A and B are shown apart, each in its own frame.
Chain A
Amino acid sequence: MVAVNPLTCLPHHPVMRGTVDLPRGRIRPGARGHPQCRVILKGCVMKRLLVAMLAFVAATVSQSAGAQTLKTVKDRGSLSCGVSQGLPGFSAPDDKGNWTGLDVDVCRAVAAAIFDDPTKVKFVPLSAKDRFTALQSGEIDVLSRNTTWTSSRDTSLGLNFTGVNYYDGQGFLVRKSLKVNSALELNGASVCVQTGTTNEQNLADYFKSNNMRYEVIAFASADETVKAYESGRCDAFTSDVSQLYSERLKLAAPSDHAVLPEVISKEPLGPVVRHGDDQWFDIVKWTLFAMIDAEELDITQKNVESKLRTDNPEIKRVLGSDGNLGEQLGLTKDWVVRIVRGVGNYGESFDRNVGPGSKLGISRGLNRLWNQGGVQYAPPIR
């Protein structure tokens, strides 16, 4: 038996056979392997290749968009939630690495409703331009990342918005030293913006409709956008106003920068799910409504256990001591108890994350309940 080079599958000493005159040092692949080697090749390489291929096919073919999200989440044991890459107040890791924020709380509430454990969430940080692809492809179950509800996103992107957890609008952040007091004085300015946002399009509309020239510099991530603004590349930074306040905290000298008074768009921000799974759509939608309704009924994280003993028929229905509304959703009877115990009601979440109890200190404004002068209005749980 001739010794075989395991790398080339050729005999160590090429024996002259009929046509072994290799044209100028080139070895024709596969043509002259040694029998022993061929067996090895066939035996393991081919088999592995085949197994890998079959696994791949099985994975692609079986991965249909089916209406199975709740089951998938339960089997996995955690919810996969798309958030921002760090927007204090909405979704950002705190110093211990725990994600916190108004948007984060929506996901925690969904996890609480399903698992009775608000920590069973895997957070996936996403840039503005990658978020929809991540949701469409099934990488995440819910997108809760200060995302504006628009008709094209709700239809042609194959998504469903489940409600609005923050009513916002777009504004501009400028250096106070520029002595600009109105967005209408920004003719000819350079503006930094994040790509893949509604802000990018609103900016174009606003300058066009006011007959002003501008230069737009668009970045993939918020950090790069803010750094470029801070380095002086842009005169203004544009985004939803709440995000301007949040990003301003990251600047070296926040008080040197001011948000201009004009709000140039409507930005209703809310959680999003994929088309094609109505049950899951209902669960996320009603989790948000439950938080808002809990605030309206004055059910809080502290008093929820004592409220269980109330005689009020509405509260009894909401908390599940009467009827089976939770089971109709595919959850348990005490789903709202779980939500409020886990993360609190909408008002508590707001105060803790973006309101007076937080570094942002944003006033409730439009986000007050409908019966207190705002527009937060959730359909009744009954």
Chain B
Amino acid sequence: MAIGSRPPPPQFWPKLRRVLGGQTGWGGVLGQLVLVAFVVWLGYEIVANARANMQAQRIASGFGFLSQTAGFGVSQALIPYSESDSYTRVFVVGLLNTLLVSAIGVALATVIGFAIGLGRLSPNWLLARLAGAYVEIVRNLPLLFQLLFWYLAVLATLPNPRQSITLLGWVFLNNRGFVVAEPVAHASFWPVALALGIGVGIAFAAHALARKALFDNGRVLRIWPVVLGSLVGLPLVVALALGAPLSFEAPVLKGFNFVGGLRIIPEFVALTLALSIYTAAFIAEIVRAGILAVNRGQMEAGSSLGLSCGATLRLIVVPQALRVILPPLTNQYLNLTKNSSLAVAVGYPDLFSVFAGTTLSQTGQAVEIIVITMGVYLLISLITSAAMSFYGWRVGMGLGAT
């Protein structure tokens, strides 16, 4: 604590008064109580009024619709889905699609954003200017416009399925998306996967051991042969003993489109690209600000300790910069997730499109569906920011700051 002070005497009533009414005295307490009562009454009035209006108009209400048959198709479902499934299933399908786009978008945006942000700080004149131009162009154009550009402009240049661009007959690119051979699991799949899991475990243990040796005794252990052996060698031995775990089934053109194979639809690609390219421009500026916020002396101190440039960045500058970067970075992650609700503009079946769009207009239950959808986005946002706070706390722990 900056200034040593005497602890205030434990007084209950003044404390309560301060909590409730600031220094305005009991009048303030009364004011707060009136305000709370007012807010509660307001909330009650809104709900009651909406109910009364809906009943007067005989609009269906309640959550019974969730078990009704949806009766419409969805172009991408991560779980088995058909038209005869219920609206609940549609909800899950949409939610998973939203999560997929958000997760991949966040990862991609982070990578691009860090690259551009570091590029802008580079002593290389051309690189710095290019990175600067990227940021200025991308962040100043509306996202919806960029989304439609990626979708329509890029889609229009791709050939139809019969004239697909192909790579050896295993990978196809056309205006229906990106089709790759589908992996088919064999009997030896699970043993090999198990071996890989064990390998990962061994690698982590080796890493922890090496770290302990470094910090406790200052010894540097060479662990890469162990890591390589456990990650690659172990599964390989099992695979050689039991046979290949996977084989690939090539897609074939049949009628209008390819049958078999895994297909990534263009809507997904366009949405992910647009979201991550757009968000990356903001992340780049955050990264730049974060690094500039670290005192130059830190870099010099690093090199005077004999650390290489990369090691100084990695061990000294970035951990300190991260404390500045993380909170606004969290905001960008949340923005990306929420912006993914633009999906319907390019026909990607995200939560907002299939649930707050199609389901809403089929059932007309706007209140229930908007409440559920808002709750879900809120939950995703809260979980993301909790995870980021936890990460920030870990980083802070590492710096011995808290």
Contacts and interface: CB of A to CB of B under 8 A. Distances in A.
Interface string A191-217: 010011000110111011000001111
A157 B49 CA distance: 18
B364 interface: yes
Contact of B345 (A156, A216, A219): A219
B288 interface: no
A196 B366 contact: no
Nearest to A23: B1
Interface string B25-67: 0000000000000100010011001001110111110000000
Contacts of A274: 57
A57 interface: yes
B298 interface: no
A340 to B, nearest CB: 32
Chain A interface residue number, banded? 35 or more
Contacts of A57: 42, 45
Interface stretch (B2-10, B197-205, B316-324): B2-10
Given A31-B22, A195-B357, A156 B59 contact: yes
B38 A235 contact: no
A129 B357 contact: yes
A196 B359 CA distance: 8
Interface stretch (A225-233, A283-291, A307-315, A349-357): A225-233
Interface string B311-347: 0000000000000000000000000000000001111
Given A60-B49, A195-B361, A231-B175, A158 B54 contact: yes
B41 to A, nearest CB: 9
Contacts of A130: 361
B357 A220 contact: yes
Contacts of A93: none
A21 B3 contact: yes
A156 B363 contact: yes
B164 interface: no
Contacts of A60: 45-46, 49
Given A195-B357, A204-B72, A219-B347, A156 B8 contact: no
Contacts of B353: 195, 218, 220
Interface in B347-402: 347, 349, 353, 357-358, 360-364, 366
Given A53-B42, A275-B58, A188 B364 contact: no
Chain B interface residue number, banded? 35 or more
B105 to A, nearest CB: 20
Interface string A37-75: 010000000000000010011001101110000000000
A233 B357 contact: no
B399 to A, nearest CB: 16
A145 to B, nearest CB: 12
A276 interface: yes
Interface stretch (B121-129, B131-139, B254-262, B271-279): B254-262
Contacts of A301: none
Contacts of B151: 228
A132 B349 CA distance: 21
A97 interface: no
A379 interface: no
A181 to B, nearest CB: 15
- Greatest chain B CB density within 10 A among A19, A32, A186, A196 is at A196
- Greatest chain B CB density within 10 A among A63, A195, A207 is at A195
Contacts of A158: 54, 57-60, 364
Contacts of B295: none
A155 B71 CA distance: 18
A224 interface: yes
B307 interface: no
A205 B53 CA distance: 34
Interface stretch (B107-115, B152-160, B218-226): B152-160
B1 A136 contact: no
Given A231-B156, A233-B266, A274-B57, A129 B360 contact: yes
A60 B160 CA distance: 53
A130 B357 CA distance: 8
Contact of B361 (A21, A24, A128): A128
Contact of A132 (B52, B255, B345, B361): B361
B24 interface: yes
B303 interface: no
Given A53-B38, A155-B58, A156-B59, A214 B363 contact: no
Given A23-B1, A129-B360, 12 more contacts: A53-B38, A64-B49, A136-B57, A189-B256, A195-B358, A196-B360, A200-B73, A218-B72, A218-B75, A218-B349, A218-B353, A219-B347
23 contacts: A21-B5, A38-B24, A60-B45, A64-B56, A137-B366, A152-B362, A152-B363, A153-B364, A187-B256, A189-B257, A195-B361, A196-B357, A201-B362, A214-B73, A215-B73, A217-B267, A218-B349, A220-B345, A220-B353, A225-B347, A232-B175, A233-B347, A275-B56
Pairs A-B, 7 closest by C-beta atoms = A196-B361, A158-B59, A157-B364, A156-B60, A158-B57, A216-B73, A204-B83
